[in-house]
């Protein structure tokens, strides 16, 4: 079923919004936000949230979506991350227009609201230490106990909170707590912290503050101040919703957004926790946040994923209330489908094997017409140089081939893509017995790949002319982890022990067709028979692009599992 005027399948959040619009709730506005914490780079899980929040805003007439940095943890946050996050959201194809906000913009207002709670007898300064607070909190089965500081007078609390702000207490000496219910069955309601002392610089407010508001307090108020109508978040916040509502019910805010939870995206063979991704970077398991093996937006971008394919993936997996793990093959299929339509086909050899065509003239070069796409003429064509010495893929030759091997073997004939039929006449080996060269003959009558006498060959292989080839580095990637759930709690071992040692393979003497010398950073191609490749944006040089394999042509893992 489909709502609105899109063809997308519907989900429960669209249903809620449709009902709200029908009932005229929120003056019939739809206003969402994407609220990242700037303590790392965005990953594929965030893409789901971005596509949902910005997608909803785009779908509804007049809908808006804010980008808001939830920057209340100064220790871990940095402008490197705020810049990267903005670039990622834009690259994914979304626009917050003039609505870029920071929770830190509201620090003064948040402070005022905390004072309001104190004045209303709904917040107090507590001097229990962290360990005592834990003890007093109780457990899931036992109620908590009131702190001995819980009944301080409003005046005393105001004075202490003013001192907290002035920096007169040390970190951990005291904190401001909401006064709710220490016996609540929901532990989040047992007098949660509102402000804690942190004597650290904030990347935006500098040393103005030595107290910082907690997430639960900040988030609902930020939503309310921005006039958010539907505050979409992941399921782990479900138990925090009563607190979200409690704060807004106590305070004189004009809007009371509705928090709606959905299941987070989990992808197998990788990790999607910023803390773990950060560890991979800082411990040197990968080359950085933008390592093409990382499930980060910037890593996937460098690997060659398109924004369209990521958006398509996020739509296909849907929005539900139950946690599931999506097979990374689904993501790979989305990118394959997109690249199949949009990339030019070119020839390149990753593991070159030399072929000398004995009956071809010594100094001749022929330029053969080759279309860039088999069924999209608008992509045009290029001229491929053909000459006496070419290279083919080592895998396309077997000295003692089985019957069903339709490629090169002694005495066997194959078609060279866009060129001629060749027949292998002689195999040349080095002293160690490795095949280092093939001597072949070509049939001049088969130019373009067909024999006038109607004789057929079953195999067509790719090739590159030696004299014209671009010699460069090509990188092949495999899954970052060997285990489908590297961070699962069932594993006793350290999650990093499941890293795949073969996740990166460099081919430093790949030979590619000469048209690729001009390929620009992030340009994408299909190397025929080998997969989709993208020009690396970091390590490429002028006339020497380095290529990253985005994905193979077919899902080799699915085949293996069969």
| x/- letters, 510..529, toward ligand ATP (CB under 6 A) | --------------------
Q: Which SS3 state, helix, strand or coil, does residue 60 take?
A: coil
Closest C-alpha to 438, from 392, 494, 493, 406: 392
Task: Give φ, ψ of 193 to 5 degrees.
Answer: -70, 145
Cα 146 to Cα 152: distance, rounded to the nearest angstrom: 12
Catalytic residue flag (residue 264): yes
Dihedral sign for Cα atoms in the order 372, 353, 554, 503? negative
Structure tokens at 174: 């005291």
Q: Which SS3 state, helix, strand or coil, does residue 320 take?
A: coil
Among 264, 417, 439, 529, the active-site one is 264
Residues in the interface with ligand ATP (CB under 6 A) total 14
Cα 118 to Cα 163: distance, rounded to the nearest angstrom: 14
Min CB(412)–ligand ATP separation in Å = 51
- Of 4-12, 34-42, 219-227, 315-323, which segment contacts ligand ATP by CB under 6 A? 34-42
Q: Which is nearer to ligand ATP, 326 or 504 (CB)?
A: 326
Question: CB nearest ligand ATP: which residue?
Answer: 45
Closest C-alpha to 546, from 348, 338, 375, 274: 348
Min CB(510)–ligand ATP separation in Å = 35
Min CB(233)–ligand ATP separation in Å = 5
Catalytic residue flag (residue 37): yes
Catalytic residue flag (residue 274): yes
Q: Strands 524-527 and 344-346: what pairing? A: parallel
Min CB(81)–ligand ATP separation in Å = 9
Cα 22 to Cα 18: distance, rounded to the nearest angstrom: 6
Min CB(45)–ligand ATP separation in Å = 2
Min CB(242)–ligand ATP separation in Å = 18
Out of 20, 45, 78, 425, name the contact with ligand ATP by CB under 6 A: 45
Q: Does an H or E element contain 475, and which?
A: strand 470-477
What DSSP line would sit under 78-96, residue for residue? Answer: -HHHHHHHHHHHHHTT---
Q: Which SS3 state, helix, strand or coil, does residue 20 take?
A: helix
Q: Which is nearer to ligand ATP, 234 or 441 (CB)?
A: 234
Q: Which is nearer to ligand ATP, 10 or 73 (CB)?
A: 73
Tell me which residues in 49-78 interact with ligand ATP (CB under 6 A): 49
- 463-493 burial, b at 16+ Cβ within 10 Å, e below that, comes to bbbbebbbebbbbbbbbbbebebbbeeeeee
Beta bridge partners of 437: 354, 428
Out of 14, 31, 46, 241, name the contact with ligand ATP by CB under 6 A: 46
Q: Which SS3 state, helix, strand or coil, does residue 50 take?
A: helix
Min CB(52)–ligand ATP separation in Å = 8
Q: Which is nearer to ligand ATP, 235 or 356 (CB)?
A: 235
Q: Which is nearer to ligand ATP, 5 or 322 (CB)?
A: 322
- Of 24-32, 42-50, 298-306, 489-497, which segment contacts ligand ATP by CB under 6 A? 42-50
Cα 325 to its chain centre, rounded Å, is 15
Among 37, 279, 308, 437, the active-site one is 37
| x/- letters, 196..235, toward ligand ATP (CB under 6 A) | -------------------------------------xx-
Q: Which is nearer to ligand ATP, 30 or 260 (CB)?
A: 260
Min CB(355)–ligand ATP separation in Å = 49
Beta carbons of 536 and 302 less than 8 angstroms apart: yes
Please report whether residue 309 would count as binding ligand ATP according to CB under 6 A.
no
Structure tokens at 473: 């580095």
- Of 32-40, 159-167, 433-441, 465-473, which segment contacts ligand ATP by CB under 6 A? 32-40
Phi-psi region of 277 (alpha: psi -120 to 50; beta: other; left: phi over 0): alpha
Residues in Cβ contact with 201 at an 8 Å cutoff, skipping those fewer than 6 apart: 74, 207
Q: Which is nearer to ligand ATP, 202 or 507 (CB)?
A: 202
With residues binned 3-state (H G I as helix, E B as strand, rest as coil), the percentages for the chain, rounded to 5, are 30, 25, 45
Q: Which is nearer to ligand ATP, 52 or 164 (CB)?
A: 52
| x/- letters, 262..301, toward ligand ATP (CB under 6 A) | --xx------xxx---------------------------
| x/- letters, 370..409, toward ligand ATP (CB under 6 A) | ----------------------------------------
What DSSP line would sit under 130-192, residue for residue? Answer: HHHHHHHH--SSS-----TTTT--HHHHHHHHHHHHTT-S-TTT-EEEE-S-TT-SSGGGSS-
Out of 36, 55, 213, 304, name the contact with ligand ATP by CB under 6 A: 36
Beta carbons of 465 and 386 less than 8 angstroms apart: yes
Q: Which is nearer to ligand ATP, 38 or 531 (CB)?
A: 38
Among 274, 475, 524, 549, the active-site one is 274
Min CB(38)–ligand ATP separation in Å = 8
Closest C-alpha to 446, from 438, 461, 457, 459: 457
Q: Which is nearer to ligand ATP, 262 or 525 (CB)?
A: 262
Binding site for ligand ATP (CB under 6 A): 35-37, 45-46, 48-49, 233-234, 264-265, 272-274
- What is the set of active-site residues? 37, 264, 274
């Amino acid at each position: 079923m489909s709502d609105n005027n899109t063809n997308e399948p519907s989900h429960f959040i669209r249903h809620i919004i449709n009902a709200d619009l029908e009932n005229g709730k929120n003056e019939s506005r739809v206003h969402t936000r994407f609220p990242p914490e700037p303590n790392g780079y965005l990953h594929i899980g965030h893409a789901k949230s971005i596509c949902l929040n910005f997608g909803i805003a785009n779908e509804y007439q007049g809908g808006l979506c804010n980008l808001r940095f939830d920057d209340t943890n100064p220790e871990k946050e940095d402008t490197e991350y705020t810049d990267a996050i903005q670039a990622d959201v834009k690259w994914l194809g979304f626009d917050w227009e003039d609505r870029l906000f920071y929770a830190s913009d509201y620090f003064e207002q948040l402070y005022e609201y905390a004072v309001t709670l104190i004045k209303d007898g709904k917040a107090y300064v507590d001097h229990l230490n962290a360990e005592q607070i834990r003890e007093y909190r109780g457990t899931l089965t036992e109620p908590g106990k009131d702190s001995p500081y819980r009944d301080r007078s409003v005046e005393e609390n105001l004075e202490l909170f003013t001192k907290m702000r002035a920096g007169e207490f040390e970190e951990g000496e005291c904190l401001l707590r909401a006064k709710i219910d220490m016996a609540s069955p929901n532990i989040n309601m047992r007098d949660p912290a509102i402000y804690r002392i942190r004597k650290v610089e904030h990347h935006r407010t500098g040393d103005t503050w030595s107290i910082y508001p907690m997430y639960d307090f900040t988030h609902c108020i930020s939503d309310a101040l921005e006039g958010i109508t539907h505050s979409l978040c992941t399921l782990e916040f479900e138990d925090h919703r009563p607190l979200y509502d409690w704060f807004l019910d106590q305070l004189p805010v004009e809007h009371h957004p509705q928090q709606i939870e959905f299941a987070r995206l989990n992808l197998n063979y990788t990790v999607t926790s910023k803390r773990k991704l950060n560890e991979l970077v800082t411990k040197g398991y990968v080359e950085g946040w933008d390592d093409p093996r990382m499930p980060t937006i910037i890593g996937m971008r460098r690997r060659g994923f398109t924004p369209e394919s990521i958006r398509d993936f996020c739509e296909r997996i849907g929005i539900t209330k139950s946690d599931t793990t999506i097979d990374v093959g689904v993501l790979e299929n989305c990118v394959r489908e997109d690249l199949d339509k949009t990339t030019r086909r070119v020839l390149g050899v990753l593991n070159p094997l030399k072929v000398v065509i004995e009956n071809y003239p010594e100094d001749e070069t022929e330029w053969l017409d080759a279309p860039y796409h088999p069924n999209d003429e608008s992509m045009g064509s290029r001229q491929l140089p053909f000459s006496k010495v070419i290279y083919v893929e080592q895998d396309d030759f077997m000295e003692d081939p089985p019957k069903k091997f339709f490629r090169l073997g002694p005495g066997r004939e194959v078609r060279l893509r866009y060129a001629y039929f060749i027949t292998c006449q002689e195999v040349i080996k080095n002293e160690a017995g490795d095949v280092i060269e093939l001597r072949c003959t070509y049939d001049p009558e088969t130019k373009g790949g067909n024999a006038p006498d109607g004789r057929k060959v079953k195999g067509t292989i790719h090739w590159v002319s030696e004299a014209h080839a671009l010699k460069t580095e090509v990188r092949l990637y495999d899954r970052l982890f060997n285990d489908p759930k590297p961070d699962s709690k069932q594993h006793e071992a350290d999650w990093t022990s499941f890293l795949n040692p073969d996740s990166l393979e460099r081919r430093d003497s790949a030979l590619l067709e000469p048209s690729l010398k001009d390929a620009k950073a992030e340009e994408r191609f299909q190397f025929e028979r080998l997969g989709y490749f993208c020009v690396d944006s970091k390590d490429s040089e002028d006339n020497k692009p380095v290529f990253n394999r985005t994905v193979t042509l077919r899902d080799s893992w699915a085949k293996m599992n069969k």
